[in-house]
Structure 1
């Protein structure tokens, strides 16, 4: 068993990550997984969780936390009437389809492979946050099916592989096709629900019976870590929602983009 000092540091670090994740959930319409996954990976290493399952456990636990966080954020945004309900309805099948495909990949990919996937997507997300401009447009309205369904499936696939709620990807999609950023953020909270719920079950299935998992884990989901962070994220997510409707987020986007680039570099370095 780890020393008491390590356990206290473990709990404090997770609580801090939970505050950041909850704020991001409301502010950017994301589940905070982009913060939680690298934090989990490092902290799980400090308590000597097997490297073979550490990254899988970080991603799966992140998705489990995003379930209540995204639901809370979705309800808060829905109360403001800013969500594109039609888009969410059109993605009820495509997004979970992408999540299921991700679960099949996770069941067979190595820890190094999953870190490489996370780092690759993190670079794309980081560049988007650093260089995105609200004036960029690909069209005046969202594309119809089958293109729309394909985008939904891709968002589900990439988000589930990375352990994120899909907000950054959906925000990019919606704003590129002329939708207001506040509507994109609000709708992304619903996208997070469509990703995290099937993602939770997918990672439980993918890791069922895996060797090296720590106590209180079901597949690739550790419930101790989830229990420590979920209450914090639920408390602060509504604060993020209020900030989303009141603040200029460009500086925050830049810092978040830089963070993602550093995380990507860290994971790529771990592969050498």
Structure 2
């Protein structure tokens, strides 16, 4: 059927326009992942949901496929982005070690359990709420109290659990929670963005493992789909985002991102509105 992906002789063939759409999406989200430490999921999920529904996937399942596929791309984006940040000494590896255990536990719980049980409609509404929250945080740019610091080891494990769990439900790399949390605890914005990029890998790894477990027995919604994961989109978006994430990371250290964050916040409001519509439409 025209416009739909198909497998022929073991080689995946996609409509050329669909390939271009996925590559552009990967370039844009990869750049923003490096620039703002957001993982790209807040952009990928609404656009992938739209593209999949246009290709005949049921709206409820399209949301789940978009979330899972978005999270899988972060496995690649985070590596590319964090290398660029690490070269500049911006990653707080002590915070990565403190938050990662909780992130893995929270991510597995979300991906293997709650995600599979929730309806796509509720996930869309949940996504809209948290993207709206993240946009508001960016827009207000509230400053923390000078005396506030990161919590100790138990507090970091608990915070990591929340970050991993919420990320698994919305398919984002955790930057929408971890960056505001770290800056609220007086971690500088550049360190917070770089550390968030490093946290993207354990977040994605735990959640993707959960998605694979939760969707193991599902019938593919499209050729090339594996449970909740849509492999053609994963390959194309990851390839493009890996190339553009270092450019975003480089830009993050060369500019004041305050005005950019405000502009990005309004884009997020628009995407949150779209997912709210998808959720309410059911």
Give the TM-score taking structure 1 as reference length.
0.94
Post-superposition Cα deviations, 1:6-34, rounded to whole Å, max 9, x if no partner, equal: 92332222111111111111101221111
Say whether residues 1:152 and 2:160 are aligned partners.
Answer: yes
Say whether residues 1:127 and 2:136 are aligned partners.
Answer: yes
Unaligned runs of 5+ in 1: none
Tell me, what secondary structure is at the counterpart of 1:136?
Answer: coil
Tell me, what secondary structure is at the counterpart of 2:242?
Answer: helix
Say whether residues 1:243 and 2:251 are aligned partners.
Answer: yes
How many residue pairs are counted as aligned between the two chains?
271
Change (3 A) 1:9 1:145: same
Partner of residue 197, structure 2 = 189
Change (3 A) 1:76 1:124: same
Say whether residues 1:10 and 2:22 are aligned partners.
Answer: no
State the alpha-carbon separation in 2 of the partners of residues 84 and 196 from structure 1. Answer: 19
State the alpha-carbon separation in 2 of the partners of residues 156 and 131 from structure 1. Answer: 24
Partner of residue 64, structure 1 = 72
Of 114, 128, 131, 1:105 maps to 114
Alpha-carbon contact 1:49-1:212 (below 8 Å) kept? no
State the alpha-carbon separation in 2 of the partners of residues 158 and 149 from structure 1. Answer: 14
Alpha-carbon contact 2:91-2:191 (below 8 Å) kept? yes
Say whether residues 1:81 and 2:89 are aligned partners.
Answer: yes
Say whether residues 1:45 and 2:53 are aligned partners.
Answer: yes
State the alpha-carbon separation in 1 of the partners of residues 151 and 3 from structure 2. Answer: 55
Partner of residue 8, structure 2 = none
Alpha-carbon contact 2:43-2:271 (below 8 Å) kept? no
Post-superposition Cα deviations, 1:185-206, rounded to whole Å, max 9, x if no partner, equal: 1101111011011111111222
Tell me, what secondary structure is at the counterpart of 1:146?
Answer: helix
Of 15, 33, 38, 2:41 maps to 33
Distance apart, 1:138 and its partner CA: 7.0
Change (3 A) 1:208 1:52: farther
Partner of residue 202, structure 1 = 210
